[in-house]
Structure 1
Amino acid sequence: MTLKMAPDEKLLDFFAPILGRISDDEYRARAAEVLLWVHETFPELGVQIAWNQPMFTHHGTYIIGFSYASKHLSVAPEQAGINHISQELDKQGISYTPNLFRLPWTQEPPYELICRVIAFNIEDKAEITSFWR
């Protein structure tokens, strides 16, 4: 189920089952901060929980998702998104795989980079009608 929401409290309530699994209060606050930032920066995106992860969608197609580990926040923009920003990931020394990049909890998230990959996915998937590429 994909929802459109406005108030930040509703967004955090919606994602509470996922955020509640993050035991460290600071990490949980950072995760919530990132989710709120995406929601505020891209209010046209829908939100959903799938595969136990918070995800943002546009016209029914996946744009970006997040998952949480003990040492980092994972950002998953699909392989095309990673390919689009891989040089910047290398330049910033950010660890990544073909499908996600890892942001240590102890570092400020690179919001400009996250913004670029979300904007890329929205544009690149404008004509895609399936959830995944």
Structure 2
Amino acid sequence: MLQEFLNKVKNPVLKDKLEGIFNQIQQEFPSLTTEIKWNQPMFIMDGTFIIGFSAAKAHISIAPETVTMETFAKDIKEAGYDATSNLFKIKEDQEVNWDLLRNIIAFNMEDKKGYEKFWR
């Protein structure tokens, strides 16, 4: 499923970054499942959304929940990533800040434990 998504990413730099991100998530958070919804890979815990990804021409968009974006706004800015209220972007010339990504995923997993809807 993730490989099918990656095969559609035309930018080889972004494809490599996403593949690394996906592999790291699967290693560190093996309880998360993956689904493709709205043409975007999403990591899911017990039926609830944890984090989603998409690839544009020159950046990756990473979308946690809005409350998570608010909680980590300062860290995202300090990492040098552009952000909106719903997502942040890692440009092709930027490194992936794995500590930040790990903290965001762990926060969402804890925040949504026992949550029964898909979105917050």
Question: Equivalent residue for 1:6?
Answer: none
The secondary structure found in structure 1 opposite 2:90 is strand
> 5+ unaligned residues in a row in structure 1: which ranges?
1-13
Equivalent pairs, count: 120
- Assess, with a 3 A threshold, how the Cα gap between structure 1 residues 48 and 39 changes in structure 2: closer, same or farther: same
Matches within 5 A, 1:45-124: 45-124=32-111
Deviation at 1:38, TM superposition (A): 0.9
SS at match of 1:33: helix
Structure 1 stretches of at least 4 aligned residues deviating more than 3 Å after TM superposition:
none
Which range moved further: 24-33 or 80-89? 24-33
* C-alpha displacement of 1:19: 1.1
Q: Distance in 2 between matches of 1:17 and 1:93?
A: 30
State the Cα deviation string for residues 77-124 of structure 1 (Å, max 9, x = none).
020110110011122221101110000122220000001110110010
| Residues 1:132 and 2:119 are matched in the alignment | yes
| Structure-2 residue corresponding to 1:39 | 26
For residues 52 and 71 of structure 1, the distance between their equivalents in structure 2, rounded to whole angstroms, comes to: 18
CA distance in 2, matches of 1:105, 1:39: 22
Unaligned runs of 5+ in 2: none
Secondary structure of 2:94 counterpart: coil
RMSD, matched Cα: 1.1
Is the partner of 2:109 in helix, strand or coil? helix
List aligned pairs for 1:5-44, cutoff 5 A.
Answer: 14-44=1-31
Deviation by residue 1:44-95 (Cα, 9 ceiling, x = unmatched): 1111111101110111100001000111111100201101100111222211
- Percent of aligned pairs sharing the same letter: 35
